[in-house]
Structure 1
Amino acid sequence: MTLRFRLLALVCGALSLPAYADGADEAKGLWMAPEGDAVIQFAPCAETASALCGTIVWDKDAGTPADTCGVRIAQLARFEKDAWRDGWVYDPRDDRKYKGVVRAKGNELRIRAFVGVEVLGQTEQLKRVERLPDAPQCKR
């Protein structure tokens, strides 16, 4: 086997692996927003258990007029190939919904919001957290 053939086989094998996500359940859990000002919980949607929903469960502005506790920021219908797809993401900063894709791997979750096609979007990277910060508390 020539070196060129081995390199080609290695590249083809690497390209056949999922790009980022480990599996459908990897996105479930608590995730800290990039600015550290909110925690989003991703879990099955109450009304459609096969879908994934993201809800703000901790907000540094809890109890103030800027409070976003309880706001659903994502709803994605299905997991396919490497990501949760076919749904929307909501940005409370600009009060707009976008098409969305969520990918998770280990302690990182990436939310991609876009209009039209995915390549023309913007990505936010969140970090997994084990528990909510102590204060302030969202009212349930």
Structure 2
Amino acid sequence: MICKLRLAALAFVALAIAQPALAADDPTGTWLTQAGDARIKVAKCGANLCGTVVWLKEPMDTDTGKPAVDNKNPNRALANRPIIGLQLFEGVQPDGANKWSGKIYNADDGQSYISHISVSGPDTLKVEGCVGTLCGGETWTRAR
């Protein structure tokens, strides 16, 4: 019995070492938007961060019955690209401790905004978009 407990304890320790916990300031992972209508996968792309739409609550366009596309994009050549798989971050780079800055694309209005991103807890990511000095944002939660 003691041998089985030791073996179980060793297996637990090995698993913990093999899968280290995410650092509190690590923005990578899959995040659920504040409205709960999309999941965004944030990953490192060289020195930058990439943010890609990987899931939509409503993946189909109710008007067309087809997969949702970037139809608000003012560039007509981009207006038919699917929302799932869409890259939202552009040039998002480290900008201090636990902060990243660059641009973020908003498919709801087809515009890109100056963006600031910070991890505000192990399971929360603050995402801001700014026009001039006016900024608005939301808090994304880590998807499980």
TM-score (structure 2 length as normaliser): 0.64
Is 1:82 the counterpart of 2:84? The answer is: no
Root-mean-square deviation (Å): 1.8
In structure 1, runs of 5+ residues without a counterpart are 1-20, 131-140
Within a 5 Å distance, the mapping from 1:36-75 to structure 2 comes to 36-45=36-45, 49-63=46-60, 64-67=66-69, 68-75=83-90
- The 2-side partners of 1:39 and 1:99 are apart by 21
- The 2-side partners of 1:65 and 1:22 are apart by 35
Of stretches 30-39 and 64-73 in structure 1, the one that deviates more from structure 2 is 64-73
Q: CA deviation at 1:124?
A: 1.1
TM-score (structure 1 length as normaliser): 0.66
In structure 2, runs of 5+ residues without a counterpart are 1-22, 61-65, 70-82
C-alpha contact 1:22 1:82 (8 A) present in aligned 2: no
- The 1-side partners of 2:68 and 2:115 are apart by 24
Q: CA deviation at 1:65?
A: 4.1
- The 2-side partners of 1:108 and 1:56 are apart by 17
- The 1-side partners of 2:42 and 2:84 are apart by 14
Is 1:127 the counterpart of 2:124? The answer is: no
Q: CA deviation at 1:70?
A: 0.7
- The 1-side partners of 2:24 and 2:59 are apart by 33
Corresponding residue for 2:107?
Answer: 92
Q: CA deviation at 1:111?
A: 0.5
Query: How many equivalent pairs are there?
Result: 102
- The 2-side partners of 1:70 and 1:79 are apart by 26
